[in-house]
Amino acid sequence: MQGRSMKTLVVMNEKGGVGKTNIVAHAGWYFSERLRTLVIDLDQQANLTKTLGAYVGRVESVALFDEPTKVPSVGSLTVTRSTRELLGVEGADRECIETFRDSLALNADDYDVCVIDTPPALTNRTFGALLAADAVIAPIGMNDYSIQGVTELLRAMKGVAQHYKRPPHLFLGLLPSIYDRKSRRERELFESLAGEVGKLLFPGVVAKRDLYSRSAGESDAVWNMKGAAARDAGEEIRGVLATIAQKMELGE
């Protein structure tokens, strides 16, 4: 894919605790197997920065909102660091949203794919990510509160596209994440959701697995771990990421 312009995936949901960071981390590991990959951590909690610490470059994510900024590559996977200074972006002039877009445009020839982890709120950071995004995926937990935020997310996507006169996003769908198949209530919610918004559901799930927490703690992808459970988890999340790559046309 050398020489083609970078494509940007935003992982977002207004609700926290839906497995966004797990998906972004594994996306970074997965895409960087064959593509020049940039990962941007916009969540001030910095969990992603910690998990992908081995790939963090010298650029802090907040710099991308200050002025158009290049992110020098540190290898096949490069991560911009989350800091508490990101909270200051929320008090900045709205022009910072366009500055973030311009920062990503400045890096478009140096990377093939960019994956952005967003804070669990509709903020300047989130709107900056949406303005720059080609595609959006929304991890959702199987609970009422997580699902309620979806309407606001879709409204935000449409609002950004209209306000900034940019093309509509490719919405990849609602991705059931941390999904406990053994829970009767969660299975019922999943079936209910499928009935209501079938076309918006992503064709795959990320199940609730202790291995994903271990993956974050050990800073390594589940498919690199040993055992049958790790093999199952690896097949599951690689399948999800392969579908994302196909939908975004992230070719070789």
- Domains annotated for the chain, with CATH where assigned, are 7-247 (3.40.50.300)
Q: Can you give the pLDDT at residue 3?
A: 42
pLDDT surpassing 90 at residue 31: yes
Q: Are 28 and 197 in contact (CB under 8 A)?
A: no
The mean per-residue pLDDT over the stretch 95-99 comes to 97
Residue 28 has pLDDT above 60, yes or no: yes
- pLDDT score, position 185: 80
User: Given strand 135-140, what is the order of strands in its sheet?
Assistant: 56-60, 77-81, 37-41, 113-117, 7-11, 135-140, 170-179, 206-207
Mean pLDDT over 49-64 rounds to 97
What does the pLDDT read at residue 32?
97
Tokens in use for 185? Answer: 């209530």
* pLDDT the model gives residue 153: 86
Spell out the residues 6+ positions from residue 68 whose beta carbon is closer than 8 angstroms to its own. 99, 102, 103, 105, 106
Please state, rounded to an integer, the average pLDDT across all residues of the chain.
90
- How far is it between the farthest Cα atoms of the chain? 51
